[in-house]
Amino acid sequence: MQIKILNENEIREIEEIIEKNYDCKIDLKNYTVFVTRDEKIWLASKDIKNVSLSRCYRIGIYFGKIKRNKKIKLSIEGAFLIGKKAKKNIALIDDKEAFKFLQGYDAEAEKLIGCEINNFVLVKNKNDIIGVGILREKNGKIYIENLIPKARRISF
């Protein structure tokens, strides 16, 4: 696993992207933050920096991926960390739509909080952040494009 551990300035850049998109301040300085060649961002505990192993398959958790438009596509766990503090780009969905969303289908929002079309949104059902989607508009209809990875979907 080839990684680049981010310095304070680079971590600050990620915090700013998140702050801009979700209107929330997060502090990633308490983590070891690193990126892999595929632009994926990973979070691990501070102590992990001190261990070096050659046949390393994975470190910490996948937080999100930096996209070409300089936005971050958060993982479910990334969304979980941000979700409690986020104030915008939140799409609330009801139980019926959440049921669909967890299976990998697109969903309709019950309420949108500070959302922009074609932007990443945190998908929230009651008090749970259940993942991330992209808010889309097609033929005048607004929906949340599903970004749940196949391995995490529930098949009912």
Which listed range, 2-10, 18-26, 60-68, 104-112, lies at the site for other proteins (CB under 8 A)?
60-68
Q: Is-contact 39 33, C-beta < 8 A?
A: no
Cross-sheet strand order for the sheet of 72-74: 3-5, 31-36, 40-45, 61-66, 72-74
- Distance, in Å, from the CA atom of 14 to the CA atom of 42, rounded to the nearest integer, reads 11
In the complex, least distance from residue 151 CB atom to other proteins, rounded to whole angstroms: 6
Q: Is-contact 107 123, C-beta < 8 A?
A: yes
Which listed range, 9-17, 114-122, 124-132, 133-141, lies at the site for other proteins (CB under 8 A)?
124-132
Q: Is 147 in the site for other proteins (CB under 8 A)?
A: no
- Distance, in Å, from the CA atom of 86 to the CA atom of 79, rounded to the nearest integer, reads 9
Q: Is-contact 48 60, C-beta < 8 A?
A: yes
Q: Which is nearer to other proteins, 104 or 114 (CB)?
A: 104
Among 2, 7, 9, 50, binds other proteins (CB under 8 A): 50
Among 9, 37, 55, 140, binds other proteins (CB under 8 A): 55
Give the residues lining the site for other proteins (CB under 8 A).
31, 43-45, 47-48, 50-51, 53-62, 75-77, 80, 98, 102, 125, 128, 130, 151-152, 154-156
